[in-house]
Structure 1
Amino acid sequence: MSTDNRMDHLLINANLATMTDNGRPYGTVENAAIGMRDGVVAYVGAMSELSAAPHDLAHRVTSLDGAWVTPGLIDCHTHLVFGGDRATEFEQRLEGASYEDIARQGGGIVSSVRATRTASEDELLKQSLPRARALLSDGVTTLEIKSGYGLEPDAERRMLRVARRIGRQLGITVRTTFLGLHALPPEYRERRDDYVSLVCDTMLPALVEEELVDAVDAFCESIGFTPAETRRLFERARELGVPVKLHAEQLSDLSGAALVAEFDGLSADHMEWASEDGIRAMADKGTVAVMLPGAYYALRDTRPPPIDAFRRHGVPMAVASDLNPGTSPVLSLRLAMSMACTLFRMTPEEALRGTTVHAARALGLDDRGTLAPGSRADLAVWDVRHPAELSYWIGGQLCRDTWVAGEKRSAT
């Protein structure tokens, strides 16, 4: 083999959870090698099937000494850019204060909006980078980050710019989602329709033109926005050629799952109150159901998503951290995987598929999420003896290294 045809790097003596459908759990290939060239996977297979000696096939060869390799994890639902935190509210609730008491005192989402609006772009970046790094240390190589704590043009723009800067500074893919219909800002309390018009007719078109928006989201709930308001936003997004996703059926069934499926939505997220009709609509359109067990845990909810119905209808299930200051201060996607297994009764394999191949689909990314020739070389190397350990262990540092587009990153 000529030098020009050699791979850039070949990892040998590994066990691979490819997450492909090769007929084995996790798409397992044991005693394997994985090679990378120009940022993509060039070889996946057993060591015994290599066509020549490793050093004849690649410029660099590294033995992983039996470690497991998975696709880099993908956190497909986060709100990690925000100002301040709400730890004192957490303490107040445990001391007996109700959510309404806290809101009357200026707390709740209003406090996050206030802290985010008053923070400069650099201040938001400084506060948000440690949260992103925490996720990356746990094997994440692709992130979604939503806006939604600005609720006015300049603050929403700052949030999305910070999300883009996080991707550039950390050298990872960050997909940005505009969540203008997250909550009604205080100054529009008596002018609800005016705010929806601002989001649909002014904010969204401007942010799309500035290339700050990869997808559009809304909080479709009785305490959020109605299906009619959500539909208006989705229609505008479709006119602008932007895909949609939805916070749906978390607290009640407003048929949000069917609505987002009608617009060929990427995902419907939360889904505790999802109906059979909504699930069927998602199955017909290939819309991903994103499980967010962190919020379920933090809110001490008692109604889990209908996992068996998703399985029965063949709806792909993703798992995400939902990292946010109010209802899911989760800094580990692997912890969310463990919660999805323990609280929702997903299997460890489903949880790993939910943070790789199905999470990629929930972001509209078809170049990652599996270990296969031609896929983007985003990898995570784990010091475990079986992939189920990724959901089994609660906490701890299991990720040895990650690779992003073929470049090695230390997980610590």
Structure 2
Amino acid sequence: MGTTATWDALWLDVHLLPLAPADPAATVRDGALAVRDGRIAWLGPRAALPEGATAASTHDGGGAWLLPGFIDCHTHVVHAGQRSEEFELRMQGQSYEAIARRGGGILNTVRATRAASEEELLAQSLPRVRNLMREGVTTLEIKSGYGLEPESEARMLRVARRLGRELPLRVKTSFLGAHALPPEYAGRADDYVALLCDHMLPALAAQGLVDAVDAFCEGIAFSTAQVERLFETARRLKLPVKLHAGQLSDLGGAELVGRFGGLSADHLEEVSDVGIAALRAAGSVAVLLPGAIHFLRETRRPPVAKLRAAGVAMALASDCNPGSSPMPSILAALNLGCLLLGLTPTEALAGATCHAAAALGLSGETGSLEIGKAADFALWEVERPAQLCATLGFNACRQVVYQGRCRPLPG
């Protein structure tokens, strides 16, 4: 006699790509997936459905591919203003670093963001977030870092929290106060780091606005010693850390992430074999950001072959920001991850799901289709999952489900 099951919802006539970390290439043709209480209750071949199983609602997938909801694990979507003038300068041959040293780059966005109210920040951020949601994103990381003073940083993080409350979307926040040196602290980087460690980060953490701590370890930003001081503060506050590491030069950021058992090291256009070994030993994720490479026309690439050989998990994200990656599109990140970085389609899809979940500390909650995990998934009208990577500028998303509920695709 078969096992009887009662579910809230059941999807039939779907092909499943669970993207479980142990075997991300495994598929189930003509499958089914059941949901109970916002969690995945059953999945497998339709022919293996439990005898007598019932569901309050049944959905016909029409032969679509059902994948975990995408996770964009590195974004700067909350900001004000735009920087297309810098795009023009780069097209005339000026470098990102040279523009930044003249007070452009991040500080340009800082000026606009400081001047924006909370409602203005929310209004400017919503279109970017909705575009990601249309592309099947169900979990989004949002960084601060364009305020660089207590109230503006808090305002950014409050907007990020509002996005997670007001939209059917899981939002994780990262405090990136160590993104650039604010102009009022010119020549006094250590004093600014002291402000971050002694006042800003503890206050924001006490308000429940911070899920993780990030920093930009670079010659135009902060040294490894300064970042280490910030990470020590994060450790005392029991907050996980991550790092913008090796984008323009290798200052040992990957080793620092490994030493602190960080969630991820992001960018990694420049990273040593020692840094790769440190990430592997710590179980930290390498977050690859091909949008920045594309928009900055970088010739340096993350050493994907070495990361792969070392067994370092590779996540993939949009890095959506106003300057170096104005790209609110996880689908574009999939395509560029393959074409620019040499990822296989399976690696790219795993990078935007199960490995992205690990980069946010969410492996037990979401990122793959497994019993007990959140019912976060999307249906795609494609013949093969690789089409999601092979196509640019077309969105084949048919339906998005977040925590077991069908989510309207934003208009």
Tell me the TM-score normalised to structure 2 length.
0.96
Does 1:204 pair with 2:216?
A: no
Does 1:383 pair with 2:381?
A: yes
Cα-to-partner distance string for 1:13-37 (whole Å, 9 max, x where unaligned)? 00000012676x6220110000000
What one-letter code is carried by the residue in structure 1 that aligns with 2:207? E
Partners in 2 of 1:378 and 1:99 — Cα distance?
Answer: 37
Does 1:12 pair with 2:19?
A: no
Q: How does 1:92-171 map to 2 (within 5 A)?
A: 92-95=89-92, 107-171=104-168
Deviation at 1:102, TM superposition (A): 5.0
User: Contact 1:400/1:410 (CA < 8 Å) preserved in 2?
Assistant: no
Aligned to 2:399: 401
Cα-to-partner distance string for 1:58-91 (whole Å, 9 max, x where unaligned)? 1111111110000000000000101111112212
Q: How does 1:13-412 map to 2 (within 5 A)?
A: 13-20=13-20, 26-52=25-51, 56-95=53-92, 107-365=104-362, 366-412=364-410
What one-letter code is carried by the residue in structure 1 that aligns with 2:49? L
Partners in 2 of 1:383 and 1:325 — Cα distance?
Answer: 31
User: Contact 1:10/1:36 (CA < 8 Å) preserved in 2?
Assistant: yes
Deviation at 1:93, TM superposition (A): 3.0
> 190-199 vs 345-354, which deviates more?
190-199
Unpaired stretches in structure 1, ≥5 consecutive residues: none
Cα-to-partner distance string for 1:314-338 (whole Å, 9 max, x where unaligned)? 0000000000011000111110011
Partners in 2 of 1:373 and 1:255 — Cα distance?
Answer: 39
User: Contact 2:12/2:60 (CA < 8 Å) preserved in 1?
Assistant: yes
CA distance 1:78–1:21, shift in 2 (3 Å): closer
Unpaired stretches in structure 2, ≥5 consecutive residues: none
2:13 is paired with a residue whose SS is: strand
Partners in 2 of 1:295 and 1:189 — Cα distance?
Answer: 26
Deviation at 1:186, TM superposition (A): 0.4
Deviation at 1:107, TM superposition (A): 3.1
What one-letter code is carried by the residue in structure 2 that aligns with 1:44? L
User: Contact 1:21/1:27 (CA < 8 Å) preserved in 2?
Assistant: no
CA distance 1:164–1:371, shift in 2 (3 Å): same
Aligned length: 407
Partners in 2 of 1:179 and 1:107 — Cα distance?
Answer: 18
Q: Give percent identity, aligned residues only.
A: 55
Partners in 2 of 1:227 and 1:68 — Cα distance?
Answer: 44
Partners in 2 of 1:227 and 1:347 — Cα distance?
Answer: 33
Deviation at 1:97, TM superposition (A): 5.3
Partners in 1 of 2:341 and 2:96 — Cα distance?
Answer: 25
> 44-53 vs 139-148, which deviates more?
44-53
Partners in 2 of 1:240 and 1:399 — Cα distance?
Answer: 40
Partners in 1 of 2:38 and 2:101 — Cα distance?
Answer: 52
User: Contact 1:291/1:320 (CA < 8 Å) preserved in 2?
Assistant: yes
Cα-to-partner distance string for 1:109-168 (whole Å, 9 max, x where unaligned)? 222000000100111000001100011111100000000000000000000000000111
Partners in 2 of 1:250 and 1:100 — Cα distance?
Answer: 11
Deviation at 1:105, TM superposition (A): 7.1
CA distance 1:293–1:21, shift in 2 (3 Å): closer
Deviation at 1:244, TM superposition (A): 0.1
What one-letter code is carried by the residue in structure 2 that aligns with 1:45? G
Deviation at 1:410, TM superposition (A): 2.6
Partners in 2 of 1:104 and 1:180 — Cα distance?
Answer: 18
Partners in 2 of 1:321 and 1:97 — Cα distance?
Answer: 23
